[in-house]
Amino acid sequence: MVGFTEHGHYLVPVLVGLFAWHPSPLLIVMAILAMPQLKRAWHYDPASPENVRYYGIAPSVKLTYAFYYLALLAFLAMMTFGIHDMLGPLRGGTR
């Protein structure tokens, strides 16, 4: 995962905070899976080939991928909200 090692150290504290707010076993699994990335980010080596390759990518390409990622995030959030609304009557909700 080129590029994730740069900001991977932010993921674990966010997952811990989410778990404290709303406990979920999936968050524990995600935190465990993120630990190798955290270790890689902690031992950052600017001369390693993947870091050289990451910083060699044009900013326009990085912005394009960021836009696609945020668009996917927005789409998934909207679809999750829609499913939540559709399942409301089955749960006995008022929505």
Supply the pTM of this predicted model.
Answer: 0.49
Q: How far is CA 20 from CA 7, 16, 17, 27, 34, in A?
A: 22, 6, 5, 10, 17
* H-helix segments, 4-58: 4-7, 11-21, 25-42, 49-55
> What pLDDT, on a 0 to 100 scale, did the predictor assign at position 61?
92
Query: Residue 92 region, left (φ>0) first, then alpha (ψ -120 to 50), else beta?
Result: left
Q: Give, for all 95 residues of the chain, the pLDDT tens digit.
A: 444 445 555 666 776 777 787 777 877 787 788 788 778 778 888 888 888 888 888 989 989 998 998 899 889 888 888 888 888 888 775 55
> What pLDDT, on a 0 to 100 scale, did the predictor assign at position 8?
52
Give residue limits of the domains in the chain.
Answer: 1-57, 58-95
